[in-house]
Amino acid sequence: MHNNFKISRAWASGPAVFGLVIFAFCLHAAGGEPQEKTEWPDRLTINCDLPFLTRPADTQPATGAQIPVAPPSAQTTTSAPLVSVSAPAAVYSPEAATRLQAAAAEPTKSLQLRIYGYIKLDASYDTQRAQNGDYIYYVFPKNNGVSDNEFNMTAKETRLDLEVISPDLGETKAYGKVELDFYGPSGTANSPNLRMRLAYLDVANDDIGGSLRAGQDWDTFITVKPRMNNVAIMADAGALGVRRPQLRLNKDIKISKDTKIIASVAGARTIGADLDNGSQDDGADAGFPSVQYNLCLETKTWTKKSAKVSASGHWGMETLDQVSTNGSVIASDKDWYNSYSVIGSLFLPLVNRVSLQGTIWQGQDLASYYGGIGQGINSKLHTAIAAQGGWVEFLIDLTQRLNLNLGYGLDAPNQSDLNAKDRSRNETIFTTLYYNIKPITFAVEYVNMTTSYKDAASATDHRVQGSVIFTF
């Protein structure tokens, strides 16, 4: 059994730094101005990848499962229809995290349906071929020392969203969400297939301050996400997390008028590959789900936005069978591998128009969480691949319409866990500029990514991506 938990010295000071930040927030927790009650936002969050299309209100960490309440114009009376359909108008309000915030506690008496989304065209140029082309995870090696540039154009990120708000059941509220795009498998460049991104149900009770989320959502351990135009949002390049089926419990713990702790725990599907060629997902073969957790402190700051600091992570296992050359299983569950992560996250408003956000992490067997540059288990060495990394980003709202972001990301697997020519380091510098003329947003992004290979030459890609987005 392989249970090697490897910790890099380079990241050993990370928890201490976040501990100091938590201590500082606790000192601040008793103060601050009271938060204003927010009404139903003009614009719901339509995309965890495109935060410039979010509601004009304080952000919420990804752990909470707040249930939105119908706006006054949509709330029903005794003579109202049983079902109403509406689509909120788009506004431009960049935020660092993307979750709906609880609105005014008016009862919902009818079934509310909200249909919205956006149409997006992406065009990108890469000086060196990257995985996957329409977006970027890492850079492929050069062929005989010669770069291979490419140009891509796609509308696959076009998004369709449906939200369903159920009539209240006493003090209990129910809410569902389905989110689709066109990055489904087996499609072509001009005939893509649908892909389910999100599909979940929320049930919340105000009296107990808790909620339940069941379905497919972003990993529970995510608190902040990079603000980028690239739909991969630093996957395999410093940002952990993706979407997966899960059952999550959330609890808000009020500390003071302006400070609370959001505690979340989830049982989630362990998604693996089939490294043993036994015709079975190695994560499902473990026979039990992974556990994810997130403990997030949120407090009012000297600006209009709240600060957040969290400790989060996951633990699970994958198992490989012993398989013969003809594909028959000789011994089931022969090798077991721990998959885990420990993550510290921060969102800190510096002034009203400038914020700092980022994460640091370490762990092992992180391929399905987009860590270790897509490498989780080394079947030749019979070891889980340990890695460490993180990202940091400045968010600058130059005007209400113009937003500039500057960031850096790193994903660094342990060299001793790799074979020759495996990806050993992925380093990224990026900047993104958004300009909005409601309901159209223009975006341009520059990414400088260098992917290193063990005992082989590294490769660098200069990527420029431009986009036009129409929200509806």
177-236 pLDDT tens trace: 999 999 998 889 999 999 999 999 999 987 777 899 999 999 999 999 999 999 999 999
Q: What is the pLDDT of residues 403-420, one digit of tens each?
A: 999 999 999 999 999 999
Average pLDDT, integer, range 280-290: 87
pLDDT at site 67: 54
Among the listed ranges 44-53, 80-89, 369-378, 424-433, which one has the minimum average pLDDT value? 44-53
For residue 324 the two structure tokens come to 């013969």
b/e burial code for range 197-234 (CB count within 10 A of at least 16 → b): bbbbebbbebeeebbebbbbbbbbbbbbbbbbbbbbbb
Q: What percent of the chain has pLDDT over 70?
A: 77
Share the mean pLDDT of the chain: 81
Which of 98-102, 104-108, 316-320, 393-397 has maximum average pLDDT? Answer: 393-397
DSSP symbol at 12: T
Domain boundaries, the chain: 9-117+151-390
Residue 8 clears pLDDT 60, i.e. is over it:
no
DSSP symbol at 400: S
Q: What is the pLDDT of residues 340-369, one digit of tens each?
A: 999 999 999 999 999 999 999 999 999 999
pLDDT at site 187: 86
Closest CA to 4 of 414, 419, 452: 414
CB 230 within 8 A of CB 135: yes
- DSSP states of 228-249 as a string? -SSTTTTTTTT----EEEEEEE
Q: What is the pLDDT of residues 144-188, one digit of tens each?
A: 889 999 999 999 999 999 999 988 888 889 999 999 999 998 889
Tokens 């713990």 belong to 253
pLDDT at site 321: 80
pLDDT at site 279: 79
pLDDT at site 106: 59
pLDDT at site 66: 53
pLDDT at site 401: 95
Give the span between the Cα atoms of 251 and 254, in whole angstroms. 10
**Which of the four pLDDT bands, split at 50, 70 and 90, describes residue 5?**
very low
Closest CA to 45 of 198, 167, 155: 198
